[in-house]
Amino acid sequence: MEKQLALPNVVLIEPKPVSEELLLKVHTKELVERTKRQWYWRGAVLSVGGMVEALEMVYDGRLRNALVFDVAAGHHAGPSSAWGGTYLSLTGPAVVNLREKHRRDIKVAILDTDAHHGDGTRAVFRGDKNTLHVCFCYHSTVEEDGTKVCVGLGWAVGDQDYMERVKQEFIPRAKEFKPEIVIHLLGHDTCIGDYGDRGLSPEFFPKLVEVVKQCAEEVCGGRYVVASHGGYRRDVAEYIFPKIIEVLASR
């Protein structure tokens, strides 16, 4: 269902739950059965369903960009284990679906700027040279011919340092990799006072989206999907997401 919002070129789309068949292309049967019995199952399957649809629509040009609101799915969910508030993979099923509908070798870049290491995402895309995964976390590592990268941030960073690291560590890699679409797992747990505090101000997040959007314009015709990730400060969420939508909707 699509609903027009106040901004002229923005629509709200209510997601459909992801199919179990698609989940089983990424997760083990045991994980799916176990998760199905939990209270967060509904939120997780709707979040993944939203991501599946967003990726398809942005890839084939029905939408220019998308922001996916995510609960209970995300970057700590691997093929057979999941933790940390994320119990199904958000990106795995969406990328599998996209490749099945179009081409097996679609190149996807995943940028993870949540405070924590995206262990689940890394496990899902392990060995997949067509997926660039750049994760801003604790320890710097470069694996699999530079397609699996972690950027250790150290403890003291603020807006300026963080942005510099994104410009140094993600943008050149994306330009070299030449993805056809960019997915951005955007946690705001990195905000001052949140549980993954990296000294970032609320104003930082829309600016980050502006920079990554510009990069997507240069590398993949602007195909860019943002998904919410960790963060418990409600005031920050209420401030940043309308601003992020404005950035995505601007030309």
Q: Which residues bind Zn ion (CB under 5 A)?
A: 114-117, 135, 137, 150, 187, 189, 196, 230
Residue 195: CB minimum distance to Zn ion, A: 7
- Listed in order, strand segments (DSSP E) in 86-154 are 108-112, 131-137, 141-143, 148-152
- Residue nearer to Zn ion on the CB measure, 98 or 150: 150
Residue 99: CB minimum distance to Zn ion, A: 24
Residue 86: CB minimum distance to Zn ion, A: 9
- Residue nearer to Zn ion on the CB measure, 116 or 223: 116
DSSP state, residue 163: H
- Residue nearer to Zn ion on the CB measure, 59 or 136: 136
- What are the DSSP calls for 216-231, one per residue? HHHHHTT-EEEEE-S-
**Exposure string for 139-162, b = 16+ CB within 10 A, e = fewer:** eeeeebeebbbbbebeeebebeeb
- Residue nearer to Zn ion on the CB measure, 187 or 206: 187
DSSP state, residue 82: B
**H helical segments located in the chain:** 20-23, 29-36, 41-59, 91-101, 119-124, 159-169, 171-177, 204-220, 234-249
Residue whose beta carbon is closest to Zn ion:
230
Residue 88: CB minimum distance to Zn ion, A: 16
The helix/strand/coil state of 19 is: coil
Residue 85: CB minimum distance to Zn ion, A: 8
Residue 80: CB minimum distance to Zn ion, A: 19
- Residue nearer to Zn ion on the CB measure, 35 or 190: 190
What is the spatial distance between Cα 77 and Cα 207, in angstroms, rounded to a whole number? 28
- Residue nearer to Zn ion on the CB measure, 168 or 214: 168
Residues sharing a CB contact under 8 Å with residue 235, sequence separation 6 or more, in sequence order = 202
Residue 67: CB minimum distance to Zn ion, A: 18
Place of tokens 């990730």: 229
- Residue nearer to Zn ion on the CB measure, 117 or 213: 117
